[in-house]
Amino acid sequence: MTSGMTASWVVLLALGAFHGINPGMGWLFAVALGMQEGRRSAVLRALLPLGAGHALAVAASIGVALAIGAVVPVAWLRWLTAGVLVSLGVLRAFWHRHPRLVGMRVGMGGLTLWSFLMATAHGAGLMVVPVFVGMTMTGGGGHMHHMPATGAGAGTALVATGLHALGYLGVTALVAVLVFEKLGVGMLRRAWFNLDLIWAATLVATGILTVTL
């Protein structure tokens, strides 16, 4: 295993943890369900569909990257990804929309779909694509003109999705239980707007790094 691949694994876990901290990525929904039912088991029950939906969003973004990268040069894919990330970041900086704490009685399938849509809309899956591209290039010696759509590319996609989902689910579970049992959702009145700005800045920074590193 190369040092570059190890670094990519660490970044994927860190990105997953960062996504797990964001209330809009799922833990707030889990806390709301726990409050509606008045028990911690409801919070824990929401974690699996939240993690599944988030992982599906990441897998979808990576799948699109694989499909595009198989027919266009990797350099073009980097610029396309960077452009979308920066655009999402700028949009996020000026447009804040948060999930409501009412009307959240949904089934596990509905919660999985909600998690998928939130991760997609926030650009969470897209943020993983530059790391995935770097992993693919490292595995192929760094000289490939196009990304492999099968074989090694698919294996790398599974590893990237799994590592990111692991980091996301671990932090989501920790924050959801902590807020439900100790902190309460009142903390969001002070913290949420700052998190929105941090998220927007991270999207822009990721886009810039995609074409500069």
204: domain range? 3-212
- Could you tell me the pLDDT band of residue 101, with boundaries at 50, 70 and 90? very low
Q: What pLDDT is attached to residue 206? A: 80
Please enumerate in sequence order all residues whose Cβ is within 8 A of that of 64, keeping only pairs 6 or more positions apart, or say none. none
pLDDT mean across residues, the chain:
77
pLDDT at 168: 92
Structural domains of the chain, count: 1
Question: pLDDT over 90 for what percent of the chain?
Answer: 9
The string of pLDDT tens digits covering residues 154-174 is 677 788 888 888 999 999 999
Quick one: pLDDT band at residue 102, thresholds 50, 70, 90?
Answer: very low
Sign of CA dihedral 126, 130, 135, 136: positive
Top pLDDT among 146 and 182 is at 182
For residue range 77-94, list pLDDT tens digits in order: 888 888 888 888 887 777
Nearest alpha-carbon partner for 33 in 102, 88, 95: 102
